[in-house]
Amino acid sequence: MHPSPSLQQRMFQCAADRPLFVRSAQLAQDYMTGVADQPVFPPEAALTGLTGFDGPLPDEPCDPAAMLRQLHDLGSPATTATTGGRYFGFVTGGVLPPVVAAKWLADAWDQNAALYVMSPVASRLESVCQAWLIDLLGLPAGCVAGFVGGTSTATAVGLAAARQELLRRQGWDVNAKGLFGAPPIRVVIGAEAHSTVFKALALLGLGRERVELVPVDGQGRMQAGALPALDQHTLVFTQAGNVNTGSFDPFDEICDRAAEAGSWVHVDGAFGLWAAASPRLRHLVKGAARADSWSVDAHKTLNAPYDCGILLCRHSEATVMAMQNTGAYIVYSEKRDGMLYTPEMSRRGRGIELWATLKTLGRRGTAELVEELCDRARQASGLLRHEGFRILNEVVFNQVLVACDTGEHTLATLQRLQASGECWCGGTSWQGQTAIRLSVCSWASTPEDIDRTVAAFVNARG
């Protein structure tokens, strides 16, 4: 009787099992090419099928091919078709097919991007992406980039750098002394700021209730004339792309005031900062490059794979001091050590996929992608208005707010729309009105997808 192969032997055998990986690629490509035809939200039968994953942990190892079959047979039908052309929820981008291929290779590399000595290729590609982003977005030379999970974390890193610098100006070392007894930091923020900003303020001990709220106009833009007196101990939060209306704050006016006072300005540009990459749309972010820090997602407007958030900051020393970490075993180098700009040490190589995305698109392709999303949003708003729906916002970017005659009618329409499987949009509340939020974020959204979506709206309205 032969002894069973060891775990190590089985894994070496699996690594050499080319048919397994060929089959995986076939299933993935079948999914990518078929996603446009599946319901945008999984039907009840697919959701029920997820119970097939339940059960106790097996005592014995599973056959890899059987594991893959189960994952595909039960999992693929129960996915939300976010990579198709008719998903318009949660400002969720699609993913560019060539970058999926690059991601498969990067996954096989399985690099830890913490230090150059851990992954020279991840370090180099992060450096290249940093330079490309500064150029593409028109930001000041010398900015540093930290690659994190999303804008929520990127915002927290930007806040931490601001806290570091604003307290240093007052002679306080927050790393050594903490916040107990620290001089106050003022936080000035628009009344329509995203909820993740308040989460970051809470995490960093700056408090959600201590902020000074600035009134906004009917589109959610901060009213620069209503700013309070600023000083060098103040952090001003601005927004490139309101999550409901897509509107942009008046950066030039705000930065004028901040520069006079020596305040720190942060731009929450989760999806809207990419307007800077378009000659046709960059007027929307005029003045934003004068800020001190910026947070943005590549997995939204740019259509990079999940997850890829970016913090950019003109003050490299403040960022490094805020994120500092030391240890006898940590080997810093003269090259880029990515953990200097992020909260995490162990960190997957997001920069590899971002490089693949930017390389695939180039400057012209990036502009074309951003502009196409905005064109599809305007197409949707025009057709929906023609069909008698109310459009509650000025469609300046990729966000469309839709409403029926009453809030109850709007909510019922949304529920029927989501249940139809034809498209998926989220609900929201805007200035006391119930609304449907349509976010056009995927490269795959064609004019025909918009026509089909508008027809689904009409059918759902009843």
Model confidence at 162, pLDDT cuts 50, 70, 90, reads very high
Residues 169-176 have a mean pLDDT of 95
Q: Which residues of 145-169 are buried (b: 16+ CB within 10 A; e: fewer)?
A: bbbbbbbbbbbbbbbbbbbbbbbee
Tens-place pLDDT, residues 98-142: 999 999 999 999 999 999 999 999 999 999 999 999 999 999 999
Residues 200-218 have a mean pLDDT of 94
What pLDDT does residue 1 have?
61
- Residue 374: count of CB within 10 angstroms of its CB: 23
Omega within 30 of 0 (cis) for the link into 231: no
**Domain-wise residue ranges, the chain:** 102-358
- Whether residue 224 is predicted with pLDDT greater than 90 in this model: the reply is yes
**What share of the chain in percent tops pLDDT 90?**
97
Tens-place pLDDT, residues 77-92: 999 999 999 999 999 9
Strand partners, 213: 189
- Whether residue 302 is predicted with pLDDT greater than 90 in this model: the reply is yes
Model confidence at 159, pLDDT cuts 50, 70, 90, reads very high
CATH number of 102-358: 3.40.640.10
Alpha-carbon distances, residue 199 vs 150, 153, 202, 290, 309 (angstroms): 13, 10, 5, 25, 16
CA–CA gap between residue 367 and residue 415 (Å, rounded): 35
pLDDT, mean over the chain: 97
Residue with tokens 């055998």: 13
CA–CA gap between residue 368 and residue 222 (Å, rounded): 29
DSSP class of residue 219? T
What pLDDT does residue 326 have?
86
pTM over 0.75: yes
Alpha-carbon distances, residue 188 vs 53, 258, 416 (angstroms): 48, 11, 40
Tens-place pLDDT, residues 436-457: 999 999 999 999 999 999 999 9
Model confidence at 208, pLDDT cuts 50, 70, 90, reads confident
Q: Are 361 and 354 in contact (CB under 8 A)?
A: no
What pLDDT does residue 3 have?
77
Residues 142-150 have a mean pLDDT of 97
Tens-place pLDDT, residues 1-55: 677 889 999 999 999 999 999 999 999 999 999 999 999 999 999 999 999 999 9
Which string of DSSP letters, residue by residue, matches 92-127? -----HHHHHHHHHHHHHT-B-S-TTT-HHHHHHHH
- Whether residue 333 is predicted with pLDDT greater than 80 in this model: the reply is yes
Tens-place pLDDT, residues 345-385: 999 999 999 999 999 999 999 999 999 999 999 999 999 99
Nearest of 95, 151, 91 to residue 439 by alpha carbon: 91
Tens-place pLDDT, residues 388-412: 999 999 999 999 999 999 999 999 9
